[in-house]
Amino acid sequence: MQTMDDVKKSTVKIVGDGQFCGTGFFYKRGYCITCHHVIWTLDKIQVEHENQTYDAEWSQDYSSMDFDIAVLKINGLDLPPLRCAKETTPSLPVSAWGYTSASVGKFQVGKVFSGELETTKTWYTSESAQTNLQNPWNLRPAIKVEAYQLSSKTAGPGLSGAPIFEPNRGKIVG
């Protein structure tokens, strides 16, 4: 069964132009997943793991801007993929491993954020927007998806894209 140590080993920082942007995790050999809103303003996408930086390629075939999902192919970094649950339910005690804008300077190796999934689904929405950049990922469509939200007092900006781990089953649920 997967443990939080496994989650830590397969989680990366998403960076662009030398700046921290969010969190991602490996779900398949050579591929990591994050939220599309983490990368849409970047000219060049990179991930950082154990103080090493790796170039990332946005995979249009596997990503879904409309559902705020970005899949990145990472060259030169082969982390074990995390096992994901096919379904989730509300009120689960969960933990996230990742980085927030407030913690990234203090906890370079990441931090555990504990909480639970809300009891009802909520709508995640965002307005459409564009940048002056010309990469295929430099578009943010209007998004309206229903999802369970993580309730945590310590989570914040930058945790977007982090694996949400449900320890009872040892799987990623979001």
What does the pLDDT average to over 42-63? 95
Q: Report residue 155's pLDDT band, with 50, 70 and 90 as the boundaries.
A: low
What digits encode the pLDDT tens for the residues 119-130? 777 777 889 988
Q: Report residue 47's pLDDT band, with 50, 70 and 90 as the boundaries.
A: very high
Q: Report residue 24's pLDDT band, with 50, 70 and 90 as the boundaries.
A: very high
CA gap 44, 27 in Å, rounded? 21
What digits encode the pLDDT tens for the residues 68-117? 999 999 999 999 999 999 888 778 888 888 877 776 665 566 777 888 78
More confident residue, 22 or 120: 22
Mean pLDDT for all residues in the chain: 87
Of 96, 98, 92, residue with least CA distance to 116: 92
Q: By percentage, how much of the chain surpasses pLDDT 70?
A: 91
CA gap 14, 53 in Å, rounded? 10
Read off the amino acid at residue 29. Answer: R
